[in-house]
């Protein structure tokens, strides 16, 4: 792993608990907010904001889905990094599926952090919501960014689409908390664990949660009820990567996603929502994970499989 320390790019071990060897995810540093009325200090305006993402990253993938389904492609511009790390950092290029940094002309994501804070200490992560007017990062927390995309830009997007409806918010928040802890971040806790005990604890919590979600989806069409919400998209970006990456690369191999009938059908249904398939790039996903973590895959060989058909009929309706 590499990170910025007081503005310098340095190599560091992955953050782990020194006692247990458990992977620790750092908190996002930039948490400012874009609002429709500008009362937050950042007013929603067409053309003012730019989104930096990786097609490989599940956290960034959430923001791409919201940008697409809310109809904000012409409102918020986009850059897409190369799938493989360069010196531990995301790099801008012109490879298949990539979009260069047309706003700042940066070659690496860390430059965006240094433009915002020349003495920044922390990881150089995506997604990033960038303000062209002030020339700085507004927010680098995906959970925040999707909430902004969901409502702040409704004057230019599709206000009929609401993934965080007020009556369902307590249930969405409850599900989000469990899914984040044991699934979204759980696969990373399994993959980057430094001890056998930490790995096994993460894997067993992950599959216990998947079992609960499998049972929930036998009673509900979606996680929070009969409509797609934010909770579904936050889970989807992990599930769509599960069999291709997390099962093998992160050793989350008690069962595959396809061994969970309800979760597998649910994933296919979400994939088939118009516009979503175009946000899924399995080549970027596999190349990033298998070629960017030499400590887990020293030869950087990308497996050919598995063959997964997300377009097969899902039978849910």
Query: Which of 49, 188, 222, 289 is labelled catalytic?
Result: 188
Q: List C-alpha distances in Å: 142 to 139, 180, 297.
A: 8, 12, 27
What's the chain's length in residues? 317
Whether this model's pTM surpasses 0.85: yes
Residue 218 exposed, middle or buried by CB count within 10 Å (0-12, 13-18, 19+)? exposed
Q: What is the DSSP string of 48-79?
A: TEEEEE-SS-HHHHHHHHHHHHTT-TTTSEEE
Closest CA to 120 of 134, 136, 104: 136
Name every residue whose Cβ is closer than 8 Å to that of residue 197 and which is 6 or more positions away in sequence.
Answer: 20, 21
Cβ neighbours of residue 244 under 8 Å, at least 6 residues apart?
A: 282, 285, 286, 306, 308
Would residue 252 show up in a list of annotated catalytic residues for this protein?
Answer: no
Task: Report the Cα 112 to chain-centroid distance in Å.
Answer: 19
Predicted local confidence at residue 19, as pLDDT = 75
| 57 catalytic per annotation | yes
Binding site annotation covers 295? no
**What is the sign, positive or negative, of the torsion defined by CA atoms of 236, 239, 245, 249?**
positive
141 annotated binding-site participant: yes
Q: Which overall architecture, per CATH, does domain 2-151 show?
A: 3-Layer(aba) Sandwich (3.40)
The reply, when asked if residue 160 is annotated as ligand binding, is no
| Domain ranges within the chain, ordered by starting residue | 2-151, 166-274
Tens-place pLDDT, residues 87-109: 999 999 999 999 999 999 999 99
Low-confidence residues of the chain, pLDDT below 50? none
Q: Token pair 């511009």 is at which residue? A: 77
Tens of pLDDT, residue by residue over 169-183, are 999 999 999 999 999
Give domain 166-274's CATH architecture: Up-down Bundle (1.20)
């Amino acid at each position: 792993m590499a990170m910025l320390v007081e503005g310098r790019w340095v190599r560091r071990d992955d953050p782990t608990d020194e006692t247990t060897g458990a992977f620790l995810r750092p908190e996002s540093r930039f948490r400012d907010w874009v609002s429709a009325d500008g009362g937050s200090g950042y007013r929603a305006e067409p053309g003012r904001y730019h989104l930096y993402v990786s097609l490989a990253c599940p956290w960034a993938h959430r923001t791409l889905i919201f940008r697409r389904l809310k109809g904000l492609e012409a409102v918020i511009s986009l850059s897409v990094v190369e799938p493989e790390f360069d010196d531990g950092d995301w790099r801008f290029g012109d490879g298949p599926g990539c979009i260069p940094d047309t706003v700042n002309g940066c070659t690496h994501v860390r430059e965006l952090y240094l433009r915002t804070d020349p003495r920044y200490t922390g990881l150089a992560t995506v997604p990033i919501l960038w303000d062209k007017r002030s020339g700085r990062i507004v927010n680098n927390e995906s959970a925040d960014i999707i909430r902004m995309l969901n409502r702040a830009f409704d004057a230019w997007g599709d206000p009929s689409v609401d993934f965080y409806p007020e009556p369902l918010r307590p249930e969405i928040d409850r599900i989000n908390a469990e899914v984040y802890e044991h699934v979204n971040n759980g696969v990373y806790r399994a993959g980057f664990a430094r001890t056998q005990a930490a790995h096994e604890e993460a894997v067993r919590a992950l599959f216990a949660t998947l079992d609960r979600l499998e049972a929930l989806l036998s009673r509900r069409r979606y996680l929070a009820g009969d409509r797609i919400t934010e909770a579904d998209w936050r889970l989807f970006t992990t599930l769509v990567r599960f069999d291709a990456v997390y099962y093998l690369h992160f050793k989350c191999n008690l069962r595959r996603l396809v061994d969970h009938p309800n979760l597998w059908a649910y994933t296919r249904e979400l994939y088939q929502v118009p516009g979503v398939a175009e946000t899924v790039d399995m080549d970027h996903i596999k190349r990033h994970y298998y070629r960017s973590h030499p400590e887990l895959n020293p030869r950087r060989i990308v497996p050919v499989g598995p063959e997964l058909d997300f377009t097969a009929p899902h039978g849910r309706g």
